[in-house]
Amino acid sequence: MDGHDRGAKVICRSLRDAGFEVIYTGLRRTPEEIVSAAIQEDVDILGLSSLSGAHNILFPEILSLLKKKGAGNITVIGGGIIPEKDIPGLKKAGLKVVFPPGTKTADIVEWIHKNIE
């Protein structure tokens, strides 16, 4: 939604400041656009931000497209307005972790260092 990329931008900046190379693809990308950018850029992690309530549709679609295109090894993480009750289903679809509103950016950096080679 308009302006709701603030969280995504905060995460981009904090990961960049922590030394990661970050590629931000912008608001309202389709699952196809996201998956094709992730594959072209050969990313280690794909981060998804959703505040619109459409995560239960869009996240599994992205995860399944990644698998279909042979990129199921990319770690997918997410954040935004994602109700607690939706998290188990998203994890079942392959999402590794969800960072809800109020998460400290340092905790996200720490999670990546601990969980990604």
Interacting residues toward ligand B12 by CB under 6 A: 1-4, 6-8, 10-11, 47-49, 51-53, 77-81, 99-103, 108
Which residue matches tokens 């995504």?
Answer: 8
C-alpha 45/C-alpha 101 separation (Å) is 20
Of 31 and 78, which has the nearer Cβ to ligand B12?
Answer: 78
Minimum distance of ligand B12 from residue 98's CB (angstroms): 8
Coil, strand, or helix at residue 85?
helix
Which parts of 1-117 fold into alpha helices (H)? 6-17, 31-40, 55-68, 87-92, 105-115
Minimum distance of ligand B12 from residue 60's CB (angstroms): 16
Minimum distance of ligand B12 from residue 83's CB (angstroms): 8
